[in-house]
Amino acid sequence: MPIATPAQYAAMIDAAQQGGYAYPAINVTSIATINAALKGFADKGSDGIIQFSTGAGEFASGLNVKDAVFGVLVLAEAAHRLAEKYDILIGLHTDHCQPKKVDGFLKPLIAATAERRAAGKGNLFNSHMFDGSELDIKANMEISKELLKLCVENEIILEVEAGVVGGEEDGIDHSDMPADKLYTTPEDMVYVHEQLSSIGRYMFAATFGNVHGHYKPGAVKLRPEILKNGQQAVIAKFGAEAEFDLVFHGGSGTPSDQLQETLDYGVIKMNIDTDTQYAFTRPIVDFMMKNYDGVLKIDGEIGSKKAYDPRAYIKLGENGVATRMGEACDDLKSSGKSIFGKV
């Protein structure tokens, strides 16, 4: 099955919202990690979301190029072809794009989908994220409205963020952010609805203490009730149809009870990156340590081609990511709930 159509992607989100589950959204950087994600979703009978960051695009474009847009386009085209072999639905998404990168990253990617549509082809992307959290809420929403209009023209869903996700990811460091900035207020959630709901469909990354990275138990103070309070405020003012499709950033390492609580409050997408990076690297390190004399030419020996062939260990990393994605599908209750063939 090719990547989900806009109608299928909207149906995926509706199914998750109505069914009380969420999709793992995995950040990928290569064909190996795309294949890992597809295997992980397919093995669990789950639809899912594959996403690309600016850093992933630079990496994928090569050391001599380092062009985030070009690299993301390459990864997206590869995902379209690879997904054809699977009987699940996959949405393609781009992760955090800060205001200074909108013109050089996000708008060219929206234009790439527009060009495909003009040629009679399907969308290249299903959704994009604009991260305006560094701005005050009014400035954030002004840019969000502009981008949402562009997205709606091309049947793309925009993800927006109000409040800041702490920690560091892909070169964006919010480790020293004041604690009060890590929690989105009900007032801000109402304002987001007021500004965007009349334009078109969007997803909302409200923050409730979530932090990028992986920390020891107790280090991160999540407050999922922030989501509950915001949803209640919006629904009380605008009715049940105003319920947000919420996104959970910084989900790696979250205890299962708090994951369930976020699902109860309307989370339909949870980003996962740190855990899958470790899941890729861990089996490779194990292989290297067990095959030290094979991967290296020690003391004049010749090593073992079977050991230092990159395929020998990259496939272990690929399988590690697939296994971790399967766990995420179980945790978020999307396993066995693919709507492939139903829409």
pLDDT reported for residue 222? 82
Domain spans of the chain, in order of start: 6-282+325-331
Report whether pLDDT(80) > 80.
yes
Across the chain, what does the average pLDDT equal? 92
For the stretch 62-74, pLDDT in tens is 999 999 999 999 9
SS in 3 state form for the chain? CCCCCHHHHHHHHHHHHHHCCCEEEEECCCHHHHHHHHHHHHHCCCCEEEEECHHHHHHHHCCCCCCHHHHHHHHHHHHHHHHCCCCCCEEEEECCCCHHHHHHHHHHHHHHHHHHHHCCCCCCCCEEEECCCCCCHHHHHHHHHHHHHHHHHCCCEEEEEECCCEEEECCEEECCCCHHHHECCHHHHHHHHHHHCCCCCEEEEECECCECCCCCCCCCCCCCHHHHHHHHHHHHHHCHHHCCCEEECCCCCCCHHHHHHHHHCCEEEEEECHHHHHHHHHHHHHHHHHCHHHHCCCCCCCCCHHHHCHHHHHHHHHHHHHHHHHHHHHHCCCCCCCCCCCC
CB 26 within 8 A of CB 49: yes
Give the whole-number percent of the chain exceeding pLDDT 70: 91
Report whether pLDDT(211) > 80.
no
Report whether pLDDT(217) > 60.
no
pTM confidence score = 0.92
Number of CB atoms found within 10 A of residue 66's CB:
13
Residues with a known catalytic role: 95
Mean pLDDT of 277-304: 97
The CATH class, in words, for 6-282+325-331 is alpha beta
pLDDT reported for residue 254? 79
Mean pLDDT of 227-247: 97
Distances (CA, A) of 162 to 45, 97, 166, 195: 33, 13, 13, 13
pLDDT reported for residue 220? 54
Q: Provide the angle, in degrees to the nearest 10, between the axes of the packed helices 186-196 and 225-238.
A: 50
- Weakest-pLDDT range from 19-23, 45-49, 209-213: 209-213
For the stretch 155-184, pLDDT in tens is 999 999 997 554 344 554 444 444 556 688
pLDDT reported for residue 2? 79
pLDDT reported for residue 1? 62
For the stretch 242-289, pLDDT in tens is 999 999 987 777 788 889 999 999 999 999 999 999 999 999 999 999
Rounded to whole angstroms, how far apart are CA atoms 162 and 182? 9
pLDDT reported for residue 181? 60
For the stretch 103-159, pLDDT in tens is 999 999 999 999 999 999 999 999 999 999 889 999 999 999 999 999 999 999 999
